[in-house]
Structure 1
């Protein structure tokens, strides 16, 4: 997002303080050690039944907490629970676990120093207060935990932190569960957390979402508490408004079954030549590009199939031409056009993109497009993810592009005439292969 923090801190910076905090809660009779198994504890909390360990003495609890710290057999059986309530209607208040052991996996920052760790329920209010957070912004699924957060602040006599709840944004045919997304990453269904199909900031940025558009979209949503499921159309339409006025225009012709065009007539260039043309029809500040003209062009198969003999068409950025001979066959391999540059471009039905094969070096490109990861508008919690995964979510076509595309760098955004907007994922000189990799950017319109 381009945000540069003054400092980056971690909860693990406060492990010593959190240990002392828990020690203080135990000594004050506000926490106890519990060796109840997970299933029984879940059942007791659900039914509002007191744990058999809730009445342990402070001395006993302190001894077990020390065993947990040392990772002994007795310590590993236990966790520490805050003594808040047994049967509060808000189940988040029913003696939540605030410390548990995990001696097997070294911590990625503190290594093997600790064999037990604070849970989110304890760490969050303590660290927020210590770090000077004034307002904790949390999505509405945490609303039930707000009284618990406040209990820790009051009981520990910590500086007040104010809570602000907002609804998290949901999108159709998208799931935001980190657990489910991690599963896709781990099993190779996507390329990683920055995959352009992923609903992560890195993912949508790689897809082509700009920072100004993302900020604008988020600010327009406001701090609403209403949970809604939005369509991606308005999201990407915001982005189009940002990129359309500044995205340089280029040309791509699909390699598969491309058609060779012979240009004839008195106006056909005797030798290949180039002209400077604007990169953007409405924004001169974007600059110019070299466009090559010659007697030998290539066009897309789909365009060639639509032509009729003697039909007048417009070759974009050049002028009109009359189709004189289309080679029979499927696919079409070649055709001939006679230039008619005096023709009215407004009178033709078909405006065709093309590339000269002479006077420039055609640039190899991969044009990638992406689809939703799932086939269902809203994935329910108990839905089997595998049943709703879209079998094909990435498609690629190889193309030839105009020579100017070779100058593009990673993260540049362009428009390929008649195809759409693309973000450069890899520039021509940025990999072992001399090719440009382009990711199609959605515009909010259905295809």
Structure 2
């Protein structure tokens, strides 16, 4: 059903709850009919082959972000580890904001992370819209039982009458209307006989409840909008708080795991389930909702509204811009699915809100890829280096490990020629203290090659250094007996000027310059980092793999991946995923 765990499993309160439930045999009588359904369907089913059932229930109104990745890993991971099943369910009850594009993107993201929803011969892919008829029948049952009524107050009046945290709400003048009248009006609403906002179905609970969510919440509202799956079949849609518990129960979910903002909604969740079970609509055992702290990371925003604003206003180049915290953006930038799973595992599960520093994601990426990524060399800010005593027509092969941790991966080879590219920062006309790279009279090793000594340099009319001259010691090639005959303190990376591959390299950094861009009432756009991307044109070691999804460590520079959209064999484009060490704190 899902990928293997990427880190040792640490216990948490959710695991403890599940272990306790299983030990107590809480679900031994639970039945499963092979598909979701009300009590009449489920009670005719067989004993449930899944020990537990969880679900990942996104609304298809945007692309998933890294916070969703944690929920995905948590729900699918718990099901995997406890012999259960995790359902993939779309909460598509808001037709005005939902699109098939988002459905497709979400499915792609979850599968890329390494999870699927096939178990026991069944594909557990579901939509709230699959249950619209059952939900409507549940609403009718609540009306008949005196537990719901149609209210004709305007939405503004309802909000006013709801009261405040310190003042009780006031009953609607329609609260005691006969059940038959409410039932007739609800059906008229369904049949399109009333305009948007003219009436709504509300639960009849307690307008004086200290929990404001229990003050006769709305169950159904009128929306004359085309749904991406059901078209114009419906013009009334259930509210999420009403739909959510019904969906869970129809699917036989045992542990409904939400983030902390839904904690105050749990009493209403239980009210819906308990009453509908009593009315014969839902089968026992009922789902139970549990809440955990959502993932809050520094230097990003995860509000779908704000992410959509970044896209629509052109601050980024789409939902998959490599600076975005969306799974599509992280994937395009080059973060691996295994690195994201490792990161989510390490952030843990708790009931307390906290901020996770972005650097922990980069650390997970480094640890995930250091043992596996191929090594190569890239020169981002090139300066010509000429080995004046090296024959102009000579090409000599040098060798280096593809990955130093795994000799069995073999060696890579690349040519050494008279003219090379090195980084400009590797030469100084007047060196500062403790500078061990090239300067007049100093010797360094061309990494995997020879020891060279700087003999001079050229400048242009503007005083810019255009070329550095060195002489090589032919007895000092790396890997030969004489390689240690001359001791030097500095190593310089290089590529052959005549063999190097020209490439565009995009150096990404944090999208925001402030750690908490959406804190308080400030404008989060004012915190955009003006240097979140720098594009340079450099040179790559010949043989560098330029395939999207294949991570390469460019020595000294960091981890890079060919861009999935813009890179071609003729014109490779590489994205920097992360540097080799965290430099953000130092202001780099």
**Fold-level match, TM-score > 0.5?**
yes
- Residue of structure 2 in register with 1:118 after alignment: 238
Please tell me the root mean square deviation across aligned C-alpha atoms, in Å: 2.3
- Residue of structure 2 in register with 1:89 after alignment: 210
Partner Cα distance (1:197, 1:298) in 2:
30
- Contact 1:64/1:75 (<8 A) preserved: no
Q: Which moved more, 1:288-297 or 1:391-400?
A: 391-400
Partner Cα distance (1:417, 1:432) in 2:
22
- Contact 1:136/1:164 (<8 A) preserved: yes
- Contact 1:363/1:436 (<8 A) preserved: no
Tell me if 1:301 matches 2:424.
yes
Alignment of 1:355-434 (within 5 A): 355-358=495-498, 360=499, 362-378=500-516, 379-380=518-519, 382-405=521-544, 407-426=545-564, 431=568, 434=571
Q: Could you tell me which of 444, 447, 460 is aligned with 1:316? A: 447
* CA 1:348–1:42: 2 relative to 1, 3 Å: farther
5+ residue gaps, structure 1? none
- Contact 2:256/2:289 (<8 A) preserved: yes
Question: 1:123 offset after TM fit, Å?
Answer: 0.9
* CA 1:208–1:46: 2 relative to 1, 3 Å: farther
Aligned residue pairs, count: 439
- Residue of structure 1 in register with 2:93 after alignment: none
Question: 1:298 offset after TM fit, Å?
Answer: 1.6
Partner Cα distance (2:443, 2:159) in 1:
76
* CA 1:313–1:102: 2 relative to 1, 3 Å: same
- Contact 2:347/2:356 (<8 A) preserved: no
- Residue of structure 1 in register with 2:472 after alignment: 339
Deviations 1:333-362 (A, max 9, x none): 11211002437498433311111123x3x2
Q: Could you tell me which of 110, 126, 129 is aligned with 2:249? A: 129
- Contact 2:385/2:422 (<8 A) preserved: yes
Partner Cα distance (1:381, 1:61) in 2:
43
- Residue of structure 2 in register with 1:352 after alignment: 492
Tell me if 1:16 matches 2:133.
yes
- Contact 2:333/2:575 (<8 A) preserved: no
- Contact 1:239/1:443 (<8 A) preserved: no
SS at match of 1:73: coil
Partner Cα distance (1:335, 1:193) in 2:
44
Partner Cα distance (2:580, 2:419) in 1:
34
- Contact 2:552/2:560 (<8 A) preserved: yes
Partner Cα distance (1:351, 1:413) in 2:
24
Q: Which moved more, 1:410-419 or 1:391-400?
A: 391-400
Q: Which moved more, 1:377-386 or 1:63-72?
A: 377-386
- Contact 1:246/1:286 (<8 A) preserved: no
* CA 1:188–1:432: 2 relative to 1, 3 Å: farther
Partner Cα distance (2:314, 2:196) in 1:
38
Alignment of 1:10-409 (within 5 A): 10-47=127-164, 48-73=169-194, 76-103=197-224, 105-157=225-277, 158=282, 159=284, 160-254=286-380, 258-265=382-389, 271-305=394-428, 307-329=438-460, 330-340=463-473, 341-342=475-476, 344=484, 347-358=487-498, 360=499, 362-378=500-516, 379-380=518-519, 382-405=521-544, 407-409=545-547
Partner Cα distance (2:355, 2:383) in 1:
45
Partner Cα distance (1:275, 1:220) in 2:
40
- Residue of structure 2 in register with 1:5 after alignment: 117
- Residue of structure 2 in register with 1:438 after alignment: 575
- Contact 1:408/1:427 (<8 A) preserved: no
Deviations 1:241-264 (A, max 9, x none): 11111111111122x5x3222213
Question: 1:178 offset after TM fit, Å?
Answer: 1.2
Question: 1:64 offset after TM fit, Å?
Answer: 1.7
- Contact 2:506/2:573 (<8 A) preserved: no
Question: 1:443 offset after TM fit, Å?
Answer: 5.2
Question: 1:142 offset after TM fit, Å?
Answer: 0.6
Partner Cα distance (1:314, 1:444) in 2:
23
- Contact 1:100/1:117 (<8 A) preserved: yes
Partner Cα distance (1:73, 1:132) in 2:
35
- Residue of structure 1 in register with 2:107 after alignment: none
Partner Cα distance (1:213, 1:101) in 2:
44
5+ residue gaps, structure 2? 1-112, 432-437, 477-482
Question: 1:138 offset after TM fit, Å?
Answer: 0.7
Partner Cα distance (1:444, 1:419) in 2:
9
Question: 1:269 offset after TM fit, Å?
Answer: 7.5
Deviations 1:106-165 (A, max 9, x none): 100111111111111111101101101110011111100111100001010133102221
Question: 1:43 offset after TM fit, Å?
Answer: 2.0
- Contact 2:323/2:508 (<8 A) preserved: yes
- Contact 2:399/2:414 (<8 A) preserved: yes
Q: Which moved more, 1:431-440 or 1:305-314?
A: 431-440
